Chains A and B, each alone.
Chain A
């Protein structure tokens, strides 16, 4: 019986060592892939940081109205944020390549799924970024336009427009990422509808005076055209 126990132990040890030996090349490949990725990430981060610094990326981003990005960034510098993000992406890619080196079906399938998901992530990020840029541009346009029309709630309108576009962009990005699509759609509908309703109420109630004055002006103009002999209050200002 002892012989059988010894045999069973020898067999399982041999089996274990065989399987471990089969893992070793994959493990070595994983370590090499991570080390190479770290080196590449470091080089890429340095190049990206120098390039963005020479382009004055932080300053330009501030002018485009994305100053808040600086607040989320390490050391208040979007340049460092971008360079570190690139580095992390390279390291993660290296890790995935190393994992794929293990000759197991499930590792191969996992890596394939992750790589197939990357285009969705890129598209989602691009939609979110473009949405942000458009939101800030539109917010600024609405703010300036509303101030020039003497609307006291110009700031509110501008913020409302900005958040409308951002909510839309985030919903589109999440749909691309296929994250809880049903819940996202419902939440988006409620948020978007809520923002539009509150803006409509604010504009409708807040611009009562503006609409009244506009209607009075139109009716005076129509009346003066019917009775040309009556003098009309004229604005003496002529700009051009």
Chain B
């Protein structure tokens, strides 16, 4: 009987797998082929389903492992499974990425997978087998959620560093560096929890990416961080800055409202278990043009007082007006002021003080003011790494939590 030298990929219907891997990042076909080869090199009898969609037509054919039950089954078995949703293209919003995650979780649940790994970003350089490094703690250490800890340059991931990460840290008491991934490894237990939350109507589609970490922390599940190299960020589109802010912060604030009973109890923060070796990147000596950002802040200060006055207390408004006066080189927004602003906006979002879209878009000049001040601080300190500066900011968020809790519980008392 002739044997087929080059066996075709396995197309059998898949009942259950150990791991589901979904690649949402826009990898070229060479990168995807390399990923498949790395996965195939993993030890058997691991069964891995890779979610794919029709867009990847140029993918080189991947040969399957030997059929199960054969003596040569030393490698993992890879199954190609049609992805239930299309890959987000270009610069997708949080909502479309959350939809993709939702579909991946549903597929993993259907395949009764013990874990799920989502790769949604490109990295500048990674060691071979890094995808398995992300997923391995789910199997070896019983971790429910593995978050990435990217090596960062000082002006990368500013929205995460300035608002999301320190906010999550102050709220839930865990020092998470990248609570919104976007690369994750999730256990079956957490997948089912997220799907139950979705089915219970307590969450909506947009919240999955924003609520994954907070749900795991509130449910006291095992969360760990894995060190990676630097990731590739999309370039800044200054015309869409306010849309990005609104798109990212709205689900974060909605999630904050949903988890209020959980985060109001936490006090100090603790570090997460860290996996892998810390990675560092060389800093480029860049000279940032902060004049544009300060100009945007000053224009917002002049024209948006009427809107900010509905959200911020008089003391904060006074501090902002004073901030707009000095020359650019002396422009400094204190951490305490920035933290109060973020908390006040979170509260206004909850109270529907004004249209939520207007509220978050009006935060843009304030955010740009903070970025300019942060850049000035780093320049003045001659710092090549932002870690110390961001640690100070995180401590300010923790210190300001009592202000948030008071305003959250008694909004009328502090109503501006």
Contact = CB atoms under 8 A, between A and B. Distances in A.
Interface of A: 63, 137, 140-141, 143-145, 147-150, 152, 154-155, 234-240
- Which 5 pairs from chain A and chain B are nearest by CB? A238-B233, A236-B286, A148-B242, A238-B156, A239-B159
Contacts of B299: 147, 150, 152, 154
Given A145-B361, A154-B303, A238-B236, 5 more contacts: A140-B354, A143-B304, A147-B364, A150-B296, A235-B235
Contacts of B307: 140, 143-144
Given A63-B354, A237-B236, A145 B155 contact: no
Q: Is the interface of B mostly helix, strand, loop or mixed?
A: helix
29 contacts: A63-B353, A137-B355, A143-B304, A145-B361, A147-B300, A147-B362, A147-B364, A147-B365, A149-B239, A150-B292, A150-B295, A154-B299, A155-B303, A234-B235, A236-B153, A236-B286, A236-B288, A237-B155, A237-B236, A237-B371, A238-B157, A238-B233, A238-B234, A239-B233, A239-B236, A240-B157, A240-B159, A240-B233, A240-B244
Interface residues of B, number: 37
Nearest to B158: A239
B284 interface: yes
Contacts of B156: 238
Contacts of B241: 148, 239
Interface string B157-187: 1111000000000000000000000000000
B158 A237 contact: yes
B310 interface: yes
Nearest to B415: A59
A34 to B, nearest CB: 43
Contacts of A155: 303
Contacts of A150: 292, 295-296, 299
Contacts of B371: 237
Nearest to B285: A236
B223 interface: no
Interface in B299-351: 299-300, 303-304, 307, 310
Contact of A141 (B153, B157, B304, B358): B358
B407 to A, nearest CB: 17
A148 B155 contact: no
A131 B241 CA distance: 30
Contacts of B396: none
A235 B287 CA distance: 9
B248 interface: yes
Contacts of B158: 237-239
B303 A147 contact: yes
Given A155-B303, A238-B158, A239-B158, A144 B248 contact: no
Contacts of B155: 236-238
Nearest to A149: B239
A18 B267 CA distance: 91
A144 B361 contact: yes
Contacts of A236: 153, 155, 284, 286, 288
Nearest to B240: A148
A188 B289 CA distance: 47
A148 B158 CA distance: 18
A143 B310 CA distance: 15
A56 B19 CA distance: 54
Contacts of B354: 63, 140
B305 to A, nearest CB: 11
Contact of B236 (A147, A148, A152, A235): A235
Nearest to B360: A144
A149 B365 CA distance: 10
A144 B304 contact: yes
B146 to A, nearest CB: 21
Interface in B221-244: 233-236, 239, 241-242, 244
Nearest to B160: A240
A178 B113 CA distance: 70
Contacts of A144: 242, 304, 307, 358, 361-362
Interface centre among A63, A149, A238, A239 (most CB of B within 10 A): A239
Contact of B304 (A147, A152, A234, A239): A147
B293 to A, nearest CB: 9
Contacts of A234: 235
Contacts of A152: 299
Nearest to A233: B289
A51 B303 CA distance: 35
